[in-house]
Structure 1
């Protein structure tokens, strides 16, 4: 059962403090770590509670180095390691996964946080011919997670996928994930497809890994002012009421924004809370298991999850048994 004291206002620090016994000695890998982002903030909070190692992954080395410095400023003794990871390229994901696999001094990964993502970007294909949001937000993480699986299983670890209430923008288009080669492309629908996939991926992992002691969750972090929406034109954000006419956050936006510390709280709850160990596959919002309030039916169910797994195997070019 989720902690009843947690909610919208709960901070990452409060969650980490409540579950601080779950952090010492753990090896934690976080994707999408960059300055001022949710991944970096998540890492900083965890770093203050004596993890064995934080592995910080991102496409850009300079972002990783800047985030590493941010962590060192708040937790000078925290051990960190950097990993270049381009989730938009299957070949690059394989390189990164093989690199982690070669680290003999990292025999297990206790927590994997699949945090990286892009949002509502213009039409583009990945190097592998996959719509870019689906490629980066789901397919890359699908393959990367599987490449790390031996080390996750060794730890009986946890996997956390950052999804979004934005999964309600659209389901996975199992027969047309590329939007008729872009001719029917809608950036928000593609974002919804990718975020729905993050939820279904966690459902599959939970079912497939139950006997191995590994748990998996997906989370809605909340609406947070980060660089995630950098590809969305200002006029679109204004039309949606997110920005005002001057380009600033709209105080009368259709939803209430969270701070970075509130926005990373649910991720940390999913990664640490021992009270949800029996709810593997669940979708969390506001640090609690969601029971359908913001969880669309198309992102639920083992049938949909299995269809996504089969499609994902097809797109990476091989069966991936766990």
Structure 2
């Protein structure tokens, strides 16, 4: 039996423990702007000599900054940038086509979908979807499935979605996922719906591709982490009160918590590494992870609407309809 980890486990500890599993792996990560958890993840993993780090993001200059920081610290680690704009399905298709054209990258071992928006004002993606749902879920759903042949070519394929215990703030709004063109929009409800979708996508991937193809898929909550750019849309003097109100309306205990219990980036990113490389998770495909362990519905915030196979299949069908493409797994 392997080591037991907890909320105080750090990324560097896990990178050391999983060095053998990381070495030589091809890892694609979205959302890697310096200061983000995605960037902290790839910087940490680089210490154990992966075969290739593929950095995916919308801004070419920011991708370059992250790549340069990695190679300055680990000069022998190969890094490749991939332009990926999750706000546009056409752009996502183009990026996936690029990845699939890389003959020198026959497989991708681990995909970590870390990019995302939190509590943004009401905006629409290029294709007319509420931005948190469109970017956090639909963009990743399409991209991951389009590059699935490369993922399944790995001997030990994994997909990791970064979600949040913020999934507690809303189930899927099946009849109004776009918030009636903004008329029914609440930024925290929008965030909750998108994080629920991140979890349900993992449930489907594990069920559809685990038994026959050996794909492992996990979602995770990194915790409230200091120093990231995720809260760029938030004015916490106002938005924390709004967050508490959203929780109180649902009867969530978080509605009466008056401050965040922050983690360091080292502690927050630890669960990324646990999800991506821990071998003991093989018997828990589709699990939701927190604090570098499997989530416990008796003591952690895990809403049944985010883990239901029925809801997962319903979202899969809706997602296929919205992107205009079916995936026959």
- The equivalent of 1:117 in structure 2 is 116
Aligned pairs for 1:264-283 within 5 A: 264-283=269-288
User: Does the Cα contact within 8 Å between 1:3 and 1:275 map onto a contact in 2?
Assistant: no
1:321–1:70 CA distance, 2 compared to 1 (3 A): same
Aligned pairs for 1:80-91 within 5 A: 80-91=79-90
> Does residue 240 of structure 2 align to residue 233 of structure 1?
no
User: Does the Cα contact within 8 Å between 1:87 and 1:140 map onto a contact in 2?
Assistant: yes
User: Does the Cα contact within 8 Å between 2:15 and 2:47 map onto a contact in 1?
Assistant: no
User: Does the Cα contact within 8 Å between 1:221 and 1:285 map onto a contact in 2?
Assistant: yes
Q: Distance between the aligned counterparts of 1:253 and 1:14, measured in 2?
A: 31
5+ long unaligned stretches in structure 2:
245-256
5+ long unaligned stretches in structure 1:
243-251
- The equivalent of 2:46 in structure 1 is 47
1:241–1:142 CA distance, 2 compared to 1 (3 A): closer
- The equivalent of 1:319 in structure 2 is 326
TM superposition shift of 1:238: 5.4
Structure 1 residues 11-34: Cα deviation after superposition (integer angstroms, max 9, x where no partner): 111111111110111100000110
- The equivalent of 2:128 in structure 1 is 129
> Does residue 200 of structure 2 align to residue 200 of structure 1?
yes
> Does residue 209 of structure 2 align to residue 209 of structure 1?
yes
TM superposition shift of 1:99: 0.2
Structure 1 residues 268-291: Cα deviation after superposition (integer angstroms, max 9, x where no partner): 100000001111100000010102
- The equivalent of 2:291 in structure 1 is 286
TM superposition shift of 1:254: 2.7
Report how many residues are paired.
Answer: 312
Aligned pairs for 1:16-165 within 5 A: 16-155=15-154, 156-165=156-165
Q: Distance between the aligned counterparts of 1:16 and 1:280, measured in 2?
A: 21
- The equivalent of 2:221 in structure 1 is 220
Secondary structure of the structure 2 residue equivalent to 1:167: helix
Secondary structure of the structure 2 residue equivalent to 1:261: helix
Secondary structure of the structure 2 residue equivalent to 1:194: helix
Q: Distance between the aligned counterparts of 2:321 and 2:242, measured in 1?
A: 36
User: Does the Cα contact within 8 Å between 1:241 and 1:253 map onto a contact in 2?
Assistant: no
> Cα RMSD (Å) of the superposition?
1.6
Q: Distance between the aligned counterparts of 1:74 and 1:236, measured in 2?
A: 40
- The equivalent of 2:262 in structure 1 is 257
Q: Distance between the aligned counterparts of 2:17 and 2:91, measured in 1?
A: 37
- The equivalent of 1:180 in structure 2 is 180
Q: Distance between the aligned counterparts of 1:59 and 1:87, measured in 2?
A: 8
TM superposition shift of 1:253: 5.3
- The equivalent of 1:304 in structure 2 is 311
| TM-score, with length taken from structure 1 | 0.94
Q: Distance between the aligned counterparts of 1:98 and 1:22, measured in 2?
A: 28
| TM-score, with length taken from structure 2 | 0.92
Q: Distance between the aligned counterparts of 2:86 and 2:15, measured in 1?
A: 28
- The equivalent of 1:247 in structure 2 is none
User: Does the Cα contact within 8 Å between 2:170 and 2:192 map onto a contact in 1?
Assistant: yes
User: Does the Cα contact within 8 Å between 1:53 and 1:81 map onto a contact in 2?
Assistant: yes
